């Protein structure tokens, strides 16, 4: 490992981040992974196209035109807990969980810490839009669970990943074949617990088009075959992560989030347009990263409230 890579790793580790580096030459392989799954129809093409369209996914599989000297991809992971958001009603308070990965407060901090350090040593970085957890598993930083969620030793699935293009030479490449956690080979907890039967023993790839997360990040009514009792989070789903033995030590990592007053909660349930909400309410929504997803909030919150009745 070169001195600059070693020192960068230590610098980020001391700041609380796990990190590694892979050669930029693996971008084509990263792209081919998805292409092969689509060709084999292991990955549902309709599901993939809908997800790509919904989130405007245009992965950076090519070296940026303005950064021709790109040599490597830096993968940085930061710990993230669940967040408990409180919605007050006239007679009670409903607590709603936002799973790890939905909050992005730390992203800017990672970029600043990394870019300042590298600039001081004659290198630079640029944001990269890549399938973060997929490349994290390829790099050895993480392992896949049977539920296709990435896990880091000691952190479980309670983390987010950011990727950056860098001009740091990658003399010691960490690229490897995709790997599943060893403990998954003799565990079927998530398969048994998933209410929509989206997780399988074989094939390894889950049926994402049946996942609760797929539906509660999507506008419109939930399919008739879904049970309202399955919903458990304000967005996303924690069922397979909560039951996973790899998260046993992480499940208590819950951070207190924003509290919405009875008046604010009622405005959300009444479907008041987000630009008509009071400024303090808008600020709360932005802090929990639900301002952009406000169009989903009325429906998802309503389901959780009705579930408690």
* Cα–Cα distance, 108 to 196 (Å, whole number): 36
pLDDT at 76: 97
Enumerate residues 6+ apart whose C-beta is below 8 A from 21.
5, 72, 73, 74, 75, 139, 166, 168, 170, 174
* Domains identified in the chain, total number: 1
Residues 19-66 have pLDDT tens digits of 999 999 999 999 998 888 888 878 888 888 898 888 888 888 988 888
Residue recorded with tokens 């950064």: 67
Which of 183, 177, 226, 180 is CA-nearest to residue 202? 180
Contacts of 260 (CB under 8 A, 6+ apart): 85, 86, 87, 88, 268, 281, 284
Q: What's this model's pTM, rounded to 2 decimal places?
A: 0.93
Asked if omega into 203 is within 30° of 0 (cis), the reply is yes
Rounded to whole angstroms, how far apart are CA atoms 289 and 166? 28
pLDDT digits (tens, 9 = 90+) for 236-247: 999 999 999 999
What is the number of H-type helices and E-type strands within the chain? 11, 9
Q: What is the pLDDT of residue 44?
A: 87
Of 89, 88, 90, 85, the C-alpha closest to 233 is 85
Three-state DSSP at 171 gives coil
Which residue range is the domain that position 185 belongs to? 3-308
Cβ–Cβ < 8 Å for 133, 142: yes
How far is Cα 295 from Cα 285, in angstroms, rounded to an integer?
12
- Stretches where the chain sits below pLDDT 70 are 1, 203
pLDDT value at position 204?
Answer: 81
Rounded Cα distance between 144 and 150, Å, is: 4
Inter-residue contact 239 to 193 (CB < 8 Å): yes
CB-based burial of residue 101 (10 Å sphere; 0-12 exposed, 13-18 middle, 19+ buried)? middle
pLDDT at 156: 97
Give just the sign of the alpha carbon dihedral 118, 109, 251, 181.
negative
- Find tokens 């700041």 and name the residue: 15
What pLDDT, on the 0 to 100 scale, is given for residue 295?
A: 94
- Tell me if 135 sits within 8 A of 30, measured CB to CB: yes
Distances, alpha carbon 210 to alpha carbons 35, 196, 197, in Å: 21, 6, 7
Answer whether 128's CB lies under 8 Å from 162's CB.
no
Task: Give the DSSP letter of residue 172.
Answer: S
SS3 87: strand
**Residue 299: per-residue pLDDT:** 97
């Amino acid at each position: 490992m070169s001195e600059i890579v070693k020192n960068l790793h230590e610098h980020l580790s001391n700041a609380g981040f796990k990190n590694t580096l892979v050669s930029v030459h693996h971008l084509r392989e990263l792209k081919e992974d998805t292409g092969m799954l689509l060709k084999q129809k292991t990955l549902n093409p309709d599901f993939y196209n809908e997800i790509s369209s919904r989130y405007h996914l245009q992965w950076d599989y090519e070296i940026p035109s303005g950064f021709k000297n790109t040599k490597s991809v830096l993968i940085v992971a930061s710990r993230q807990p669940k967040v408990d958001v409180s919605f007050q009603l006239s007679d009670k308070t409903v607590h709603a969980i936002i799973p790890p990965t939905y909050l992005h407060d730390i992203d800017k901090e990672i970029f600043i810490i990394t870019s300042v350090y590298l600039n001081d040593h004659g290198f630079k970085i640029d944001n990269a839009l890549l399938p973060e957890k997929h490349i994290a598993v390829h790099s050895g930083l993480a392992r896949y669970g049977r539920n296709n969620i990435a896990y880091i030793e000691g952190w479980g699935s309670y983390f987010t990943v950011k990727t950056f293009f860098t001009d740091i030479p990658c003399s010691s490449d960490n690229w490897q074949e995709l790997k599943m956690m060893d403990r998954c080979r003799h565990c079927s907890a998530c398969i048994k617990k998933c209410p929509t039967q989206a997780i399988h023993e074989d094939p390894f790839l889950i049926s994402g088009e049946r996942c609760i997360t797929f539906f509660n990040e999507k506008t419109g009514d939930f399919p008739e075959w879904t049970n309202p009792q399955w919903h458990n989070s304000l967005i996303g789903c924690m069922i397979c992560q909560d039951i996973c033995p790899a998260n046993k030590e992480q499940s208590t990592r819950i951070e207190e989030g924003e509290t919405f007053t009875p008046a604010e909660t009622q405005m959300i349930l009444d479907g008041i347009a987000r630009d008509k909400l009071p400024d303090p309410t808008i600020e709360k929504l932005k802090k929990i990263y639900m301002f952009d997803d406000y169009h989903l909030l009325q429906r998802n919150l309503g389901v959780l409230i009705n579930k408690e009745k």
